[in-house]
Amino acid sequence: MGLSERIGAIQHSMDFISKARFDENDDRVCISMTENHCDIQPTRESDGIDNGTLDPEYTSWLKKHPSALGMFEQIMASGKGKKIIVFLDYDGTLSPIVDDPDRAFMSEVMRAAVREVAKYFPTAIISGRSREKVFKFVQLTGVFYAGSHGMDIMAPVLPLTASDVKHQTRIDDKQGSGDVLFQPAKEFLPTIQEIIEELEEKTKCIHGVIIENNRFCISVHFRRVREEDYSELEELVKSIVKDYPRFHLTRGRKVIEIRPSIKWDKGYALEYMLDTLGYGNSNNVLAFYIGDDRTDEDAFKVLRVKKRGYPIIVSSIPKETTAVYSLRDPSEVMSFLLHLARWRKNSSSSKIVI
């Protein structure tokens, strides 16, 4: 390699690390750099447990929801010989929670981790965001995407029940893996746009409100709203939705969401995607669903009830959850994904083909 090529390779690696905003003191992953390659790996010390820095309440909570990193070997032993599938939330799981929802960017090292795990296992991202927006954040084509809390799914083409087929549309684009769009709330699109316009007009007087069009649902972000203005905002949103009986409100992390009142959520989306991947009725599957919010609990319950795998909650504080295991933050999610990829590499050199 010539001098100019060496300089270019070093600059590329430095840019990679800079864009990732990676903490060089974090011992949960390590970066090894060669002349023209940047590799990220979980460290052996990544057990996800640091009792010296945890408060007693969180330590007690961890006994009920132990670290998925600390229990990694036991988890994988229980799935020996099974087909592994990975489901991920986006905000708070693959990216940090930020004040501006349009700036919830995924780091380059996280993107590399998701890309790596998707080489070996079917991987899907199920988000409350619009599917198009999640794809713009993630920018990976080897992944399945489900937006609007699962009301907009890109999935493989497989025979389904007649009731499912009526919501499917064949597609030909490059936004992720899959050939079919499943959109059970398509009829609500005109009304959703009407509600958005009314929200934007009537919330102008409240500083800090962000109205996000997630295609099949609407998010009213109030993270920047003054505490004394929240009650006014909540009552305003309620009064608007009251005029639309086919819609209802749900709440997440500093967000009020408006959704069509159909029997569909992330849990149903998870079941649908397991079906389209061919594992809906299979006992030979180990699925992971990693998420941080209330809306992920629907998917957690499906995995627990059907005994198809392990729900993993992302939280640095104690909270009520049906998840079996936990991870503290997105950096631990990244480490867990890298553990999965390395586990597969060590057990087999073959890559999954869908």
**Structural domain boundaries in the chain:** 3-42, 51-165+264-347, 187-260
Name the token pair of 52.
Answer: 């010296």
Q: What is the pLDDT of residues 282-310, one digit of tens each?
A: 889 999 999 999 999 999 999 999 999 99
Asked if pLDDT for residue 154 goes beyond 70, the answer is: yes
Q: Give 2 or 93, the one with higher predicted confidence.
A: 93
Instruction: Please tell me the CATH code under which domain 187-260 is placed.
Output: 3.30.70.1020
Q: What is the pLDDT of residues 251-272, one digit of tens each?
A: 988 999 999 999 999 999 999 9
Q: Residue 165 is which amino acid?
A: V
Instruction: Please tell me the CATH code under which domain 51-165+264-347 is placed.
Output: 3.40.50.1000
The angle formed by the CA atoms of residues 244, 236 and 92, to the nearest 5 degrees, is 90
Q: Stretch 307-335: mean pLDDT, rounded?
A: 97
Query: What pLDDT was estimated at residue 4?
Result: 42
Q: Stretch 313-337: mean pLDDT, rounded?
A: 97
Q: Residue 96 is which amino acid?
A: P
Name the token pair of 116.
Answer: 């790596």
Mean per-residue pLDDT over the chain, rounded? 84
d(CA 166, CA 160): 10
Name the token pair of 281.
Answer: 């009725």
Binned at pLDDT 50, 70 and 90, residue 170 comes out as low
Q: Residue 176 is which amino acid?
A: G
Query: What pLDDT was estimated at residue 28?
Result: 45
The angle formed by the CA atoms of residues 289, 59 and 65, to the nearest 5 degrees, is 25
d(CA 153, CA 135): 12
Asked if pLDDT for residue 1 goes beyond 70, the answer is: no
Q: Stretch 314-341: mean pLDDT, rounded?
A: 97
Which DSSP string do the residues of 82-125 spell out, in sequence order? SEEEEEE-SBTTTB---SSGGG-PPPHHHHHHHHHHHHHS-EEE
Percent of the chain with pLDDT over 70: 76
Name the token pair of 101.
Answer: 């929802």
Q: Stretch 172-180: mean pLDDT, rounded?
A: 60
Phi-psi group of 21: left, alpha or beta (phi > 0 → left; psi -120 to 50 → alpha; rest → beta): left
Asked if pLDDT for residue 127 goes beyond 70, the answer is: yes
- Tokens 């050199």 belong to 349
d(CA 118, CA 176): 11
Length of the chain: 354
d(CA 271, CA 304): 12
Selection from 76-80, 114-118, 160-164 with the highest mean pLDDT? 114-118
